Amino acid sequence: MRALYFDGSTARLVERPEPQPPDGWCIVRPRVAGICNTDLEILRGYMAFVGVLGHELVGTVVRGPDAWIGKRVVADINFACGHCSACERGLGRHCALRTVMGIAGAQGAFADSVPVPVCNLHEVPASVTDEDAAFCEPLAAAFEILEQVHVHARTRAIVLGDGKLGLLVAQVLHAAGADLIAVGKHPQKLAILERRGLCTCSLDALGDRRAELVVEATGAASGFEQALRCVTPRGTIVLKSTVADPINLHLSRIVVDEVSVVGSRCGLFQPALRALAAGAVDVASLVSHVIPFDRAEEALRLAAERGAMKVLLSMR
Ligand SMILES: [Zn+2]
Ligand SMILES: [Zn+2]
């Protein structure tokens, strides 16, 4: 099979042996796969991952239980053990023994055949396009905030960052009824939100406005300081950026203002699939390129360009 393999220094499209799925696993043939900032971080050494990259996919089950063969699916990327205390609480995303597709100890999605545990599969409704379904994983990460923080119709929120995740988070909070301002640097990106009726502004224009919920999705180490400046006393900061560099912080503001700080990573796929099927979020506008898988190396370079939007690989 073809696979985009990272050997620790370079990512190349190579021939690899077909994976042999263990019992309880199946083989998914990707139709479309998304390149994520996490993939680009891995190229810089994040997680010390070596192997086939990729974790955002929609594909067709080609080997596995009869009931799943031929179905169009997305797959939860955390492969949990199923019987530790985290798994018993339904938190397989926090299983200490987990492997993670294309990120930690498990083959990734940028290949012709991808092994996935059957229990991680979710069938994609027919009304959702492949291109939209490829956003299920990052959109689930945006929905995770609603699992962690109570968001209601009067929640005042500020979303910092207009990258792909920031745009998804802003739309999810807006759909949940929050009264929010999305803050970013790129007028064309913010325009995607404005078309859906969201309020946006630049950091300068934000002035001294504050909100009880601030989501930090800037991807920059400076984002946390900014979030502290615009959260109200007793408010909550949700951290979405996985910044690899350590940062220096004065924690006294958190203590004095009794701010809650919530780390937030992967989420459940079902709410994301439902939102895509209902058209509650616009993900299509986030796609800048759909590139045939044969040109995967070029696609990685495009995704790494400054200000790049979502680059999708097509295996169809
Ligand atoms: Zn991702
Ligand atoms: Zn477990």
Per-residue model confidence as pLDDT tens digits over 162-180: 999 999 999 999 999 999 9
pTM score of the predicted model: 0.94
Q: Which ligand is nearest to the CA of 82?
A: 2
Per-residue model confidence as pLDDT tens digits over 251-278: 999 999 999 999 999 999 999 999 999 9
Return d(Cα 77, Cα 315) in angstroms, integer. Answer: 19
CATH homologous superfamily of 2-135+283-314: Medium-chain alcohol dehydrogenases, catalytic domain (3.90.180.10)
Question: How far does the centroid of ligand 1 lie from the alpha carbon of residue 63, in Å?
Answer: 25
* DSSP secondary structure code for residue 215 in this structure: E
Question: How far does the centroid of ligand 2 lie from the alpha carbon of residue 89, in Å?
Answer: 9
Task: Answer whether 198's CB lies under 8 Å from 180's CB.
Answer: yes
Backbone angles phi and psi of 37, in degrees to 5? -55, -30
Task: Answer whether 31's CB lies under 8 Å from 61's CB.
Answer: no
Question: How far does the centroid of ligand 2 lie from the alpha carbon of residue 10, in Å?
Answer: 32
What pLDDT sits at residue 250? 84
Question: How far does the centroid of ligand 1 lie from the alpha carbon of residue 241, in Å?
Answer: 12
3-state secondary structure of 224: helix
Q: List the domain boundaries for the chain.
A: 2-135+283-314, 142-263
Return d(Cα 133, Cα 125) in angstroms, integer. Answer: 9
Question: How far does the centroid of ligand 1 lie from the alpha carbon of residue 273, in Å?
Answer: 16
Per-residue model confidence as pLDDT tens digits over 38-57: 999 999 998 899 999 999 99
Q: Which ligand is nearest to the CA of 56?
A: 1
What residues does the ion ligand 2 have nearby, CB within 5 Å?
80-81, 84, 87, 95
CATH number for 142-263: choose from 3.40.50.720, 2.30.110.10, 3.40.50.300, 1.10.287.1400.
3.40.50.720
Contacts of 224 by beta carbon, 8 Å cutoff, 6+ apart:
216, 237, 239, 247, 249
What pLDDT sits at residue 244? 63
More confident residue, 106 or 246: 106
Question: How far does the centroid of ligand 2 lie from the alpha carbon of residue 115, in Å?
Answer: 19
pLDDT range class, residue 152, cuts 50, 70, 90:
very high
